[in-house]
Amino acid sequence: MRIRLDSIGCRLNISEIEKMARDFVSQGHRLVGPGELADLYIFNSCTVTQPAARTSRQIIRQLRRGNPQATLVVTGCYAQLSAQAVEELGADLVVDNQQKENLIQLLAAKGLLHEADPIPPVLDPLGFGNPKGLSAEHTRAFIKVQDGCNNRCTFCIVTVARGAARSRPVAEIITEINRLVEAGYQEAVLSGVHLGFYGHDEGHPNGLRHLIQTILAKTDLPRLRLSSLEPWDLQADFFEMWQEPRLLPHLHLPLQSGCEATLRRMGRRTTQADFSQLVQAARATIADLSITTDIMVGFPGETEAEFADSLAFVEKMAFAKLHIFRYSKRVGTAAATMKNQLPAPVAQERSRHMHLLGDQLERNFRQQFVGRTMPVLWENSEPCGYALQWSGFTGNYLRVTTQTLPEIKLRNKIIETHLIGLTPAALQGKLTRI
């Protein structure tokens, strides 16, 4: 059967769609991409912001119009919260987030999954297809280890859409990672809605630490990376694990605001002092550490003084990269009922200022590594005149580009690379060996 998988949104959505891809291919089905007709379309939707919900609706319409005869299945957070709207847009089946992990069995039970396509599938060298939304060229896999969240951040609709926190068994995760290593993957990213809460639902307050240590002990995975971690889940001794070089020196610690008054309205369980101490402890322990964060502007009630406070604290923290969001009113959240909702032009202007700061912080961080030689996992390439331009990432998540002759293939190789300068969006590297 010809199957197309599409996904937008968070890394957890990516990890889910990647797992579906591997499962479908293992059963002999063919994955197709844009421009190829499919018998079955599966879309993993998002609704974290109003623009994300709007994009989800647009994609559903496009998939429905693209092949009216195909079966269209929609899952994900937008489908969870707006099932009737998804059906009205033309979905044949809406699958809620609780059933998503058993999607293949559900489709088979409903008679929607036919025999595998007799045409040999078009696979990449690692044995998997390449549907839209998957990580670049299958060098890095996103592994869902946890779902749901028990936090009550006042702006967040994801806790409603994903439900209570729940963790996958360690043994199941180890099995999945070992299969990926056998298939040639060089890196895995542990993902979850509330990753730092891993194991807590099973009564294991050090569950994430145990999971990481078990992965490092029981797999030969060359590189292990963590996705977003809430700062209040971490203690200073957590960072001692980074003595193991396979655990990559990058932490994404979502701050959301650098103003304590705004943080309280957001329901965020951190303060400037707590966050600053955590960052200092991490940097003191982990060499070459890259710390990135999420920042929201235009939250209800955010005054000019509060925004200035947030801007100053973000600058003080010297993040390697900012992921900046304008507040998006989501029905069903506490923030949606708060007074003093800010006009869009105010939020847009604050976003502009925060982006200017973010660009400067990113340049400052990247500049520190010019002249260094660091291992880079090379992922993808594109023609550049008579050469190929490759891009990849260092362990601390710096994007690096280099050029080679067309016959030289770097994909999925970890190569020591001399960083010789800055481009507008990346570091420029020169290979020290091939």
In a domain? residue 124: no
Residue 135 has pLDDT above 60, yes or no: no
Instruction: Kindly state whether residues 257 and 360 are assigned to the same domain.
Output: yes
CATH number, domain containing residue 186? 3.30.750.210
CA distance 42 to 81: 17
Instruction: Kindly state whether residues 155 and 88 are assigned to the same domain.
Output: no
Model confidence at 117, in pLDDT bands (50, 70, 90)?
A: low
- The pLDDT score that the predictor gives to residue 121 is 42
Final residue belonging to a domain, choices 324, 341, 368: 368
Model confidence at 98, in pLDDT bands (50, 70, 90)?
A: confident
Instruction: Kindly state whether residues 259 and 343 are assigned to the same domain.
Output: yes
CA distances from 345 to 54, 55, 314, 329, 350 (A): 20, 22, 22, 15, 9
What is the arithmetic mean of pLDDT over 244-270? 98
Give the closest residue to 71 by CA, choosing from 27, 41, 109, 30. Answer: 41
Give the closest residue to 428 by CA, choosing from 397, 402, 406, 393. Answer: 402
In a domain? residue 308: yes
Instruction: Kindly state whether residues 80 and 165 are assigned to the same domain.
Output: no
Q: What token pair was written down for 7?
A: 């996904």
In a domain? residue 120: no
Residue 4 has pLDDT above 50, yes or no: yes
Is 325:296 a contact under the CB 8 Å cutoff? yes
Higher pLDDT, 324 or 11: 324
In a domain? residue 390: yes
- The pLDDT score that the predictor gives to residue 118 is 53
Final residue belonging to a domain, choices 353, 368, 383: 368
Residue 319 has pLDDT above 50, yes or no: yes
In a domain? residue 274: yes
- The pLDDT score that the predictor gives to residue 129 is 38
Instruction: Kindly state whether residues 280 and 383 are assigned to the same domain.
Output: no
The whole domain housing 210 covers 139-227
| pLDDT digit string, tens, across residues 158-176 | 888 999 999 999 999 999 9
- Find all residues with CB under 8 Å of 129, minimum gap 6, and list them: 21, 25, 30, 31, 32, 33, 121, 122, 123
- The pLDDT score that the predictor gives to residue 284 is 97
In a domain? residue 237: no
What is 113-158 written as a DSSP string? --SPPSSPP---TTS----TT--GGGSEEEEE-EE------TT-SH
- Residue 394 backbone dihedrals phi, psi, to 5 degrees: -75, 175
Model confidence at 157, in pLDDT bands (50, 70, 90)?
A: very high
- Find all residues with CB under 8 Å of 147, minimum gap 6, and list them: 12, 97, 162, 163, 165, 166, 192, 193
Instruction: Kindly state whether residues 152 and 214 are assigned to the same domain.
Output: yes
Pairing state between β 146-147 and 223-226: unpaired
In a domain? residue 360: yes
Instruction: Kindly state whether residues 289 and 344 are assigned to the same domain.
Output: yes
Across the chain, what does the average pLDDT equal? 92
Q: How many CB atoms lie within 10 A of CB 33?
A: 16
Tell how far CA 268 is from the center of its chain. Answer: 21
Half-sphere exposure of 204 (CA within 13 A, CB side): 15
Model confidence at 116, in pLDDT bands (50, 70, 90)?
A: low
Tell how far CA 287 is from the center of its chain. Answer: 23
Instruction: Kindly state whether residues 143 and 201 are assigned to the same domain.
Output: yes
Instruction: Kindly state whether residues 178 and 83 are assigned to the same domain.
Output: no
- The pLDDT score that the predictor gives to residue 257 is 98
CATH number, domain containing residue 274? 3.30.750.200
In a domain? residue 332: yes
CATH number, domain containing residue 26? 3.40.50.12160
Residue 128 has pLDDT above 70, yes or no: no
Question: What is the share, in percent, of the chain residues with pLDDT greater than 90?
Answer: 85
Number of domains in the chain: 4
Instruction: Kindly state whether residues 258 and 362 are assigned to the same domain.
Output: yes
